[in-house]
Amino acid sequence: MKDMGARQLNNSEKYLGLLVMVGRSKYNSFRVIKDRVWKKINNWKNQFLSPSGKEVLLKAVIQAIPTYYMSVFKHPKNLCKEIAAQMAKFWWRFKKDDHKIHWKSWAKMGTAKSGGGLGFREIESFNMALLAKQCWRVLTKPQSMAAMVLKDKYFRHFTILDSNLGHRPSVMWRSLWGSLELLKEGLVWRVGNGRQINI
């Protein structure tokens, strides 16, 4: 292999910022996201920020960190909960070693402002929404490279909506396939000019 110029990859190798290989423990594979969130939050602990400043930082910076990964892989539930817990601690804490009471659950903080919350994203639901959006792209843009590769491997004779999980699927396909039910819930028929409707 070395004579041909090839090199052996390890589990930590990345391509376009994403992991090439995901091990049996998805939590350990994606733990780097939690670490990045913690580093960002830890850098802000010594600063005296107003509630509005914290809101902007959480929405514009912290919630943006896992977005790229979440559009490809489904994250473990415990990892999503831990990231949400870090955000909640940062929100209710005023100083580095200050421990404050969490007067509202983070789930309620995620409701719209009109409903008494602050509109923070619920990470697990956001993850599923991003995966469903990728499935929608595969469905509506079948000529894209990603759609053709997935179709050839997993649903050659069907559409993605009628696909099966298959034998030994990749982590990415398992993640996308798991979001299909959410996509189907939001689908509606558009009549248009009616030429493709067989009555």
Cβ atoms of 41 and 90 within 8 Å: the answer is yes
In a domain, 61, yes or no: yes
Percent of the chain residues past pLDDT 70, beyond the cut: 82
Q: In the structure, what pLDDT confidence band is assigned to residue 1 with cuts at 50, 70 and 90? A: very low
Q: Assess if residue 62 is contained within a domain.
A: yes
Asked whether residue 58 is domain-assigned, the answer is yes
- Mean pLDDT along residues 120-134: 92
Query: What's the full length of the chain, in residues?
Result: 199
What tens digit of pLDDT does each residue of 110-123 get? 888 888 888 888 89
Q: What Cα–Cα distance (Å) separates residue 36 from each residue in 30, 90, 123?
A: 11, 14, 15
The answer to whether the beta carbons of residues 131 and 178 sit under 8 Å apart is yes
> How many domains in the chain?
2
Average pLDDT, the chain: 82
Residue 46 lies in a domain: yes
Residues 30 and 88 in one domain: yes
Task: Among 121, 140, 167, identify where a domain stops.
Answer: 121
Q: Are residues 35 and 86 in the same domain?
A: yes
Q: Are residues 136 and 90 in the same domain?
A: no
Q: Structural domain of residue 42, as residue ranges?
A: 26-94+114-121
Q: Does 87 share its domain with 147?
A: no
Establish if 35 belongs to a structural domain. Answer: yes
Is 2 domain-assigned?
A: no
Look at the pTM and tell me if it is higher than 0.85: no
**144-167 pLDDT per residue, tens:** 998 999 999 999 998 999 999 988
In terms of domains, do 33 and 89 share one? yes
- Residue 157 included in any domain: yes
At residue 111, the pLDDT reads 82
pLDDT of residue 8: 61
Residue 19 lies in a domain: no
Distance CA 49, CA 57 (A): 10
pLDDT band at 14 (very low <50, low <70, confident <90, very high): low
